[in-house]
Amino acid sequence: MSNLSLAQQAGQRLMVGFEGIRMNRDLEFLIGSLKVGGIILFSRNLGTPDDIRNLCCEAQAYARSAGQPPLLIAIDQEGGQVARLRAPDFTEFPGNPGIKNREDAERFARITAAELQAIGVNMNYAPVLDVTLPDIPGIMADRSFGSDPHRAAELGTAVIETLQRNHILAVAKHFPGIGRTVLDSHMDMPLVRETLAELEIHDLIPFQAAIRSGVSGVMLSHILYEKLDAIWPASLSVPIARDLLRTRMGFTGLVMTDDLDMGAITRHFELDAIIYQVLLSEIDQILICHNRQAMESAYAQIQQHIQDDSRLSQLSQQSVQRILSVKQHLPVIHP
């Protein structure tokens, strides 16, 4: 930790998207100048399996040459409608609704982990642990394990444990649960009116199981839970990210936002306020998938906030230490 400069510490807090299927000036800028802690792959970055592996290897090599810690390289490979890697080069799965038992869950995670590791990806933004409500056409109906929180807990932990046993970091999402919502947070910010007590007997059960199973990361939702925090969505909330997830539920791993380019955030908050809230809430990584200007501004604002505020500086150092601790155990890939 003491070997990282202020600029490097700020960069470690960023997980970013980029354009292109091979190493290019854009990616070199993100790694070398913004010193980002991780990159996320979308369909726009995916060529053949060899292309993807070369891209990941070259990105990691560039990070090493720039004196940076290893990169977290993430992807959304849930199966079903959210799977960046497709046949014929990769195994396609039906997603959570098609997982009927623990054996199915373990098979999905085992094969997915092998395929991700083979191309140099080390983090999967999965599993979805959102619990739906019966007879309500929620936004997550086609991506969840269903409306039984205990079943979601069992199958979700099977995915988590199998991914991580096979050297892929698992990220449970979208805390504290968006199975109740019908509005898409890509467009605007949904509202949940349930109390904490109501969430604890339904939505939070799979996340508590994930924490017990040692899940590496938890992704926060862009939902306003008005009984928990009437001002800030979960992804920017001290009462939710710090008080509930870390203190009450005891999670000590990586906490990350969902994509800050989504309408739920951009339509309601200015970037400087967003960055301040992230730092204050003990959230470790900021996900920005598309907006290059926002990436550069976030990088500058993180540095400014931790320079100006000793409390935020201390919290940021703790976040960076959590990130580096995870990175110590990443598998090394070779061209």
14 beta partners: 286
For the chain, the distance separating the N- and C-terminal CA atoms, rounded to the nearest angstrom, is 28
Q: Which of 258, 259, 284, 305 is an active site residue? A: 258
d(C-alpha 70, C-alpha 255), whole Å:
18
234 DSSP 8-state letter: G
Active-site position among 26, 50, 186, 329: 186
| 332 secondary structure, DSSP code | P
As a whole number of angstroms, the distance between CA 298 and CA 292 comes to: 10
150 is catalytic: no
The secondary structure element, H or E, covering residue 191 is strand 191-192
DSSP-derived pairing of the beta strands 254-259 and 217-220: parallel
How many angstroms separate the CA atoms of 99 and 180, rounded? 21
User: Coil, strand, or helix at residue 76?
Assistant: coil
Residue bearing tokens 């960046």: 84
C-alpha distances out from residue 289 to 257, 305, 330, Å:
11, 22, 22
Residue 21 to residues 26, 30, 49, 59, Cα–Cα distance (Å): 11, 15, 11, 11
Three-class SS state of 186: coil
The set of residues, in sequence order, having a beta carbon less than 8 Å from that of 101 and lying 6+ positions away, is 155
**Known active-site residue 290:** no
Helical segments of the chain, H only? 6-12, 25-28, 49-65, 102-119, 149-165, 196-200, 205-212, 263-266, 271-280, 292-308, 310-327
Catalytic residues: 186, 258
